[in-house]
């Protein structure tokens, strides 16, 4: 739903606009002065700011300018009762989307909003197409250069990496099947467990296809990846296993409300980051009294990197092992292959990101991944 912030000091106009636009199915917030408006726009993401020109504290154009400094994509519409040529000119210079004179009618405002929203969507779609073109041309070029490296490639290494990746969905299948056995009388639960098993089986299918195509290796194409959605679907795969292992999950995605940002990478590969880290966390908590995993997404201050934090209350990693844990084949587990974190590192490097780990023995471990994000608009 389109989110609109109305900044208007005259309460009758503010209320009339709010009620009228609410009836047109917009989501409305209001502010009665410039300071309050800036504060609200700092705390929440709006699509449109509809501001009176003459506010009691700050000039409406200044308010828009301040908000636009942080949200350059926001649509701005100025309302005025005493428009003059000078302020009209500076409004245009600031690129406000429209300029409406009082008295206002809801239809007039609605028309102006629709026009501005259409223009914004057109601009975004154009930008999206451009990004997709860039990604496609990147993929074409990188495939060409990969062909040259083909002979040097150690395909055994790829085979072991892929076989390792089968472990994650297999763990999910085991977890769902065990829960199913415990809930044989609950038809709805059984349906859910079967669905989870099918999802995990599809993953294994996918990995098999990758294995079969190894002898004609191509770098997996980069694509526009919506990290939040991918993270949520990866977490879902582990829900049953976490229930069995009595591990609680705290997810904080509120700091990352960015529909227009994306990571450039391969979805299948990035999924492996989440799955390997979550599975390691679950496995580290066998002996723990407290069993929790916290997952948090946020944007760095500059808005150029997404930070993904995955923290657990598990056994922790010793200082000696922390330096080795990303090494291929390094494992402290009797059943481990020691490939999980090396896959994670390889994928993070391919996305031009970085990964950091801090750990306290007996308390737990925190992995933080930074990946560059790009704007869709």
Ligand X SMILES: Nc1ncnc2c1ncn2[C@@H]1O[C@H](COP(=O)(O)OP(=O)(O)OP(=O)(O)O)[C@@H](O)[C@H]1O
Q: Which residues contact Mg ion by CB under 5 A? A: 280, 340
- Residue 46 or 274 having the CB closest to Mg ion: 274
The entry of Mg ion, ligand X, none near residue 175 (CB within 5 to 8 angstroms by kind) is none
The entry of ligand X, Mg ion, none near residue 164 (CB within 5 to 8 angstroms by kind) is ligand X
Sign of CA dihedral 228, 223, 349, 342: positive
- Residue 45 or 324 having the CB closest to ligand X: 324
In angstroms, give the least distance from the CB of 279 to Mg ion: 6
Q: What residues make contact with ligand X under the rule CB under 6 A?
A: 164, 167, 276, 280-281, 284, 312, 314-317, 321, 325, 330-333, 336-342, 365
The entry of ligand X, Mg ion, none near residue 171 (CB within 5 to 8 angstroms by kind) is none
In angstroms, give the least distance from the CB of 333 to ligand X: 4
In angstroms, give the least distance from the CB of 358 to ligand X: 11
The entry of Mg ion, ligand X, none near residue 60 (CB within 5 to 8 angstroms by kind) is none
- Residue 160 or 243 having the CB closest to ligand X: 160
CA distance 119 to 143: 36
Residue nearest to ligand X (CB): 340
- Residue 14 or 345 having the CB closest to ligand X: 345
Could you please report the per-residue DSSP string of 264-319? EE-HHHHHHHHHHHHHHHHHHTTT-SS-EEEEEEEE-TTSSEEEEEEEE-S----H
- Residue 169 or 316 having the CB closest to ligand X: 316
From the list 8, 10, 52, the residue with the least C-alpha distance to 29 is: 8
* Cβ-Cβ contacts under 8 Å for 368 (sequence gap 6 or more): 307, 308, 309, 355, 356, 357, 358
The entry of Mg ion, ligand X, none near residue 333 (CB within 5 to 8 angstroms by kind) is ligand X
From the list 307, 254, 252, the residue with the least C-alpha distance to 45 is: 254
List, as own/partner pairs, every contact residues 58-62 make where C-beta atoms lie below 8 angstroms and the sequence separation is at least 24, other chains included: 58/33, 58/34, 59/34, 60/7, 60/34, 61/87, 61/90, 61/91, 61/94, 61/96, 62/34
- Residue 150 or 163 having the CB closest to ligand X: 163
């Amino acid at each position: 739903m389109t989110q609109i912030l109305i900044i208007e000091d005259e309460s009758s106009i503010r209320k009339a606009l709010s009620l009228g636009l609410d009836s047109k199915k917009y989501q409305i917030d209001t502010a009665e002065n410039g300071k309050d408006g800036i504060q609200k726009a700092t705390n929440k993401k709006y699509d449109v700011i509809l501001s009176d020109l003459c506010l009691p504290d700050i000039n409406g154009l200044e308010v828009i300018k301040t908000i636009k400094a942080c949200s350059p994509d926001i649509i701005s519409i100025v309302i005025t009762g005493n428009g003059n040529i000078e302020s009209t000119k500076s409004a245009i210079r600031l690129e406000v989307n429209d300029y409406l004179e009082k008295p206002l009618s809801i239809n007039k405002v609605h028309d102006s909003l629709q026009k501005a929203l259409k223009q914004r969507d057109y601009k975004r779609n154009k930008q999206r197409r451009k990004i997709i073109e860039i990604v496609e041309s990147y993929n074409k070029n990188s495939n060409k250069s990969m062909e040259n490296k083909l002979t040097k490639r150690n395909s055994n290494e790829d085979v072991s990496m892929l076989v390792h990746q089968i472990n994650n969905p297999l763990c999910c299948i085991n977890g769902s099947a065990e829960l199913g056995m415990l809930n044989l009388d609950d038809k709805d639960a059984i349906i859910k467990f079967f669905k989870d098993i099918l999802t995990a089986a599809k993953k294994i299918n996918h990995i098999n296809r990758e294995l079969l195509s190894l002898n004609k290796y191509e770098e997996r194409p980069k694509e526009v990846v919506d990290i939040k959605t991918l993270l949520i679907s990866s977490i879902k795969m582990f829900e049953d296993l976490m229930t069995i292992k009595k591990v609680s999950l705290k997810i904080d995605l509120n700091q990352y409300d960015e529909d227009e940002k994306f990571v450039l990478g391969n979805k299948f590969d990035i999924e492996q980051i989440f799955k390997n880290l979550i599975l390691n966390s679950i496995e580290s908590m066998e002996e723990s009294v407290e069993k929790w995993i916290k997952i948090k997404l946020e944007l760095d201050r500059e808005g150029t990197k997404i930070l993904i934090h995955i923290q657990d209350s598990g056994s922790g990693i010793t200082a000696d092992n922390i330096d080795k844990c990303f090494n291929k084949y390094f494992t402290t587990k009797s059943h481990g292959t020691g490939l999980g974190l090396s896959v994670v590192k390889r994928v993070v490097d391919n996305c031009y990101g970085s990964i950091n780990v801090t750990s306290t023995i007996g308390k737990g471990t925190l992995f933080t991944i930074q990946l560059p994000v790009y704007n869709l608009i």
